[in-house]
Structure 1
Amino acid sequence: MIVGGFGVGKTTMVRSVSEIRPLSTEETMTQAGVGIDEGASSGKTTTTVAFDFGRISLNEHMVLYLFGAPGQERFWFLWDRLFAGTLGAVVLVDTNRLADSWYSIDRLEHHGTPFIVARNNFGTPKHSLDQVRRALDLAADVPLIDCDARRRDSSKTVLLTLVDHLFALSSARETAS
């Protein structure tokens, strides 16, 4: 799962890294969304209305299926269904709108879904990674990294970080057993 606030770059990340042509439910934003779908960049003209789907092979045996969740509050009811069977998630954040990330983190913690946080850099970040960690009240063991969702290599690094985090959590559970 790739989650985060409205207009943070979830669709962009799925598109940049998917090895298949992504399924996208992008629709043109209309006057009906004025006052409702606020906060994204001023040039945003489309929005996800269900989810985005893509796929990336990490190696011969490991394939990640990518689901980008819609970020607007009016679509949050979809998230619980999308989380079913999810092994882990990326919370994509925009430092201009950190508060938009709290719901994502809250839902993942509620479901017990492991996650990492990726600061999507649309430009020069306004806050350091340490400031982001403190603002989001992230535990020390939650990976927090930089990315540019427009770049395949950067998005792939984010996903590999998630896989490494999931592997470390799994290994720690096995060791504790």
Structure 2
Amino acid sequence: MASADSETRPGAREPLQQEPIPQAVKIIVAGGFGAGKTTMVGSVSEIAPLSTEELMTEASYGVDDTGGVEDKTTTTVALDFGRITINEDIVLYLFGTPGQDRFWFMWDELSEGALGAVVLADTRRLDTCFHAVDFFERRGVPFVVAVNRFDGADDYRVEEVREALDVTEGVPILLADARVRESCKEVLVELVTHVLRVRSPALSG
């Protein structure tokens, strides 16, 4: 019969140390055409982001609303994809939606299984994010609103944006810069915190 300490004799196998398995979390980045979704995913992703931006052609003019973003020459035709590690337990996978009306049919599939969403608001064309707000409210997907600060755009207070979008006090609204990684990361951390607060009310008490 094997002795009690046979497991620790020279040559015996050491017990395998289990590494924490990161929890993969799907996050949607939505908003109107030209709101900065591709820029945000690219700024914050720790891997080379997958982007399906294409040059706008003459066929898109008169179809896509470019009012206020006349200098934009590319458009997302499928999705943007990136990844960021929040901590050793949580890895966020970011899916940026196309912003044009003609691609809204893709949103249902992209948002399936999503833990939460970021709605990027462009104060030059605030009405272009109404669809995103309505979409996530109807489906009960927790979201935060990130007001992307564009150079030369009017500054609005958070309260003014909340009133314009008609969202409740429970929805966080942040000022952000989609070009700056730390700013984007703060938005994502706030979203995760908001989701935990919404889904585990007892924890916030």
1:158 aligns with 2:187: yes
Q: Distance in 2 between matches of 1:56 and 1:138?
A: 27
Q: Distance in 2 between matches of 1:174 and 1:149?
A: 30
1:18 aligns with 2:45: yes
1:29 aligns with 2:22: no
Write out per-residue CA displacement over residues 90-112 of structure 1, whole angstroms, 9 at most, x where no aligned residue. 00001111111110011101111
Matches within 5 A, 1:1-177: 1-38=28-65, 39=67, 41-123=69-151, 124-172=153-201
In structure 2, the CA distance between the partners of 1:78 and 1:173, relative to structure 1 (3 Å rule), is: farther
Q: Alpha carbon RMSD of aligned pairs, Å?
A: 1.5
Provide the secondary structure at the position in 1 that maps to 2:189: helix
Q: Distance in 2 between matches of 1:11 and 1:143?
A: 22
Provide the secondary structure at the position in 1 that maps to 2:200: helix
Q: Distance in 1 between matches of 2:191 and 2:64?
A: 29
What percentage of residue pairs aligned between the two structures are identical?
Answer: 55
Provide the secondary structure at the position in 1 that maps to 2:38: helix
In the alignment, is the contact (CA less than 8 A) between 1:91 and 1:116 conserved in 2? yes
1:168, distance to aligned residue in structure 2 (A): 1.1
> Aligned residue pairs: how many?
176
Higher helix share: 1
Q: Distance in 2 between matches of 1:127 and 1:70?
A: 25
After TM superposition, the score normalised by the length of structure 1 is 0.95
In the alignment, is the contact (CA less than 8 A) between 1:8 and 1:40 conserved in 2? no
Structure 2 stretches lacking a partner, 5+ long? 1-27
1:147, distance to aligned residue in structure 2 (A): 0.2
In the alignment, is the contact (CA less than 8 A) between 2:136 and 2:142 conserved in 1? yes
Q: Distance in 2 between matches of 1:40 and 1:46?
A: 15
Provide the secondary structure at the position in 2 that maps to 1:19: coil
Higher strand share: 2
Structure 1 stretches lacking a partner, 5+ long? none
